[in-house]
Amino acid sequence: MTQAYNLSQLANKVNTSGQVDVTTGLSGVTPVANGGTGQSTFTNGQLLIGNTTGNTLTKATLTAGSGISVTNGNGSITIATTGGGQLSYALFSYPGSGTWTCPSGVTKVKVTCIAGGGGGNVGSGADFFGGNGGCAIGIYTVTPGAGYSYSVGESGNGSPATSPTASNNGTSSSVSGLCSATGGTGASPAGNGSNGVGSNGTFFNGYYNNNYMFAGSLAPGTSGVAWNTTLRPGAGGYGYNGGVAGVILIEYIG
């Protein structure tokens, strides 16, 4: 009696072509093995993801990452970048110290840290190079809003025109907790100075070749101080000329 009744009810859900009306003729959830999803309800932004455990489909939502936002709407998902995506930088090109404050939303920076170059010297019938300032370049994790102290290395003076003595060394450059580099040593009346060394990054012992330093346009015993298109940062001096000051460049997206 019950079976006959059920069959009669099923017949009411079959159209003239023998097709079952799935909007009212089925109950329960069709499993994945039978061609279904195994799911009956969803929330905004949920997707079906293959799951090898039981060979099923699992409901999941996208997760936002650093610099990425995810907005789950009614039948839509919007993915966007945050922070504007514009390349910005802070450049410190004169000897001295200070503090750089990390902007809001910035968590990664690229730092180029170059120390000051040593002064040149003059010996018996020969001119000598001061050592180039060391260099460290790297990508570092930073904290938005935090202050990072920095120091830009000074250049070493060249040898006096009379009674040449050992020239002055360049001094170190650093960004607190991130990277640093030592200055190039001054030349002596008998030979060239030594290049500085970078720490905590990709290192270049003597970032620039000595021949980047010009000769003859500074007064004896003086230093190149700041750099420009002729004076490369951290370059060692030659002969009577002093070296060139270091530089710190901080680049970031924000």
Question: Six-digit token pair at 197?
Answer: 């060394």
Residue 220, pLDDT > 50, answer no
What element of type H or E holds 71?
strand 68-73
> How do residues 64-88 score in pLDDT, each as one tens digit?
777 678 888 787 778 776 655 678 8
* Structure confidence at residue 72 (pLDDT): 81
> How do residues 239-252 score in pLDDT, each as one tens digit?
888 888 899 999 99
65 Cβ partners below 8 Å, 6+ apart?
none
**Higher model confidence: residue 83 or residue 215?**
83
pLDDT band at 198 (very low <50, low <70, confident <90, very high): very high
Q: Are strands 68-73 and 47-51 parallel, antiparallel or unpaired?
A: unpaired
Within 10 angstroms of residue 226's Cβ, the number of other Cβ atoms is 15
Note the residue count of the chain: 254
The top-scoring range by mean pLDDT among 31-45, 129-143, 238-252 is: 129-143
Question: Six-digit token pair at 170?
Answer: 């360049």
Cα–Cα distances in angstroms (integers) from residue 1 to residues 5, 25, 69, in the given order: 6, 20, 60
Cα(181)–Cα(207) distance, integer angstroms: 10
pLDDT band at 6 (very low <50, low <70, confident <90, very high): low
Cα–Cα distances in angstroms (integers) from residue 55 to residues 14, 35, 51, 90, 219, in the given order: 32, 12, 6, 53, 81
Average pLDDT of the chain to the nearest whole number: 79
Q: Which of 10-14, 29-33, 145-149, 157-161 has the lowest mean pLDDT?
A: 10-14
Mean predicted confidence (pLDDT) in 200-213: 55
- Phi, psi of 114, rounded to the nearest 5 degrees: -120, 130
